[in-house]
Each structure stands twice: as C-alpha cells, then as structure tokens.
Copies of this chain bind each other. A is one copy, B any other.
Amino acid sequence: MVRIDTELLSNRRVAEGYFELRFRWPAAGRPAPGQFLTVRAREGSDPLLRRPFAFASHDGTRDEATIVIQERGSATRALATLEAEAKLDLLGPLGHGFAFPERGTEPVLVAGGIGVGPMLFLRAALEAAGTKSRFVLGARTAALVPEALLPRGAGVEVRTDDGSLGAKGTAADAVTALLPEARAALYACGPAPLMAALDRIATERGWPYQAAVEEWMACGVGACMGCAVPLKSGGFLRACADGPVLDGRLVKWD
C-alpha cells in the first residue's frame, strides 16, 4: 500500500459519461485485479472524502495503471475534467483481489455497467497467465458500452437492456444460457440486482462465485467499519479490507 502524488498521463472518454484515466503508478504498489485505490478528487472540502475506484489495468514495465470511472457526482465530475499532467493524490492498492480459478474450471467474467474496470484487469491477468476466459458485459444501452476497452478475441459477449448493442437482455441472462453442467467459475462486478442474480445461478449450480462489492467508504483501509457488507448468515464484512472480492454466495444482496 502506498500513498503517492502521481501524474495523470491521459484521460479519455470511452463511453457516455465513462472515462479512462491513465497515470503513473509505482512498482512498489503492484495491484492485483479486484484491488482498488482511493483518490482525493480535489483540495478542499467539496467533495470531502477520498473516492474508491478499482484498478482496470496495470503495466509493470512502464509503471502505469488505469481506472475507468463513470461520472456520477462531484468527485467523478472533477476527475472527468482533469487533463494530462494533472496531479493525482492516490492511495492503494487496497483490499483483496480475485483468486485465480481452480484447475478445471472455466472462468466466466461478468461486468455490469461501470463494473467493467476490474473485470478488464482480471481478463488481462488471466490471459497473461495463459488462462482463457469468457467475458460478458451488460449495459443499459450501446452508448454506455466502452467498446474501445473491450477485450478482443473469442468469448466476449455484450448484452444491452434495449438491444442496441449485442443481444437484448442482461449479463445474467448470458450466464444462465451457459450449460448447467459446465464447470464455470463466476467472477463479477456490477449493480446489486446482477450480483444477486449471479448468486442464485452460482448457488443453484454449485459454481464458485467471486464478487467484487461496492459500498460507501470512509477510510478504505479497514479502520472505520463504515463499509459493512451484510452477510446472509448475519454479521458483516468490510468491503475495503475483507473485500472488495468476497464469496458472492455469502453476501446478502438486497
């Protein structure tokens, strides 16, 4: 974990309201897919808190990394307008990333909306390790699909709610369409309804399911107990320090 003042290398719009920020990132802080960083979007008290974003890629040879962000409120709006050479106050990598799939299982990566960042990173890491994976991206509509970022090659599917790109339907539909007897290992990041749907599929079919969760965060390092993720068994885990990657079958999604 490092806290650095680093430099933005580029900022490009990759879909409607989606931006890819590329920045210098030191070797000392090598991130794993699923891990995240927090950024102070600007000086002063508006916004006040650091904001968490998942790593979307890391290039260890060039000391660069990226995040993909969606404009939602004041922090993401400020980040979206930053230009190359802007300073970035970053803290990371934080939390626990995805574990690689067990031998004999086929990794199925599911990204819902802005959940795409960590899944892209995982896809690249699996590929680098010689592991093939399926990649399903679900979005509301074509304009919200960051096509330039999508992995090339086989096994990449897009679903949109309105059918404007890829087949009409949700990412969960695509997963349901897989053969029940496949030995899939689910990996996902996306909105709660998607995560819950995958939970049902995974539980039914006995598939492992690694879910990257999102919760409001204050500290990002496990100190404040603010980012509680409720478990089906009762009790909570901290999204930041126990997650963000958790066993999706244990999480209470609603």
Contacts and interface: CB of A to CB of B under 8 A. Distances in A.
Interface of A: 44-46, 74
Q: Which 5 A-B pairs have the closest CB atoms?
A: A46-B46, A44-B46, A45-B46, A44-B74, A45-B45
One complex includes copies of this chain to the number of 2
Contacts of A46: 44-46
Nearest to A47: B44
A46 B78 CA distance: 13
Contacts of A74: 44
Contacts of A44: 46, 74
A34 to B, nearest CB: 32
A91 B45 CA distance: 25
Contacts of A45: 45-46
A6 to B, nearest CB: 20
A83 to B, nearest CB: 11
5 contacts: A44-B46, A44-B74, A45-B45, A45-B46, A46-B46
A48 B44 CA distance: 11
A44 B46 CA distance: 7
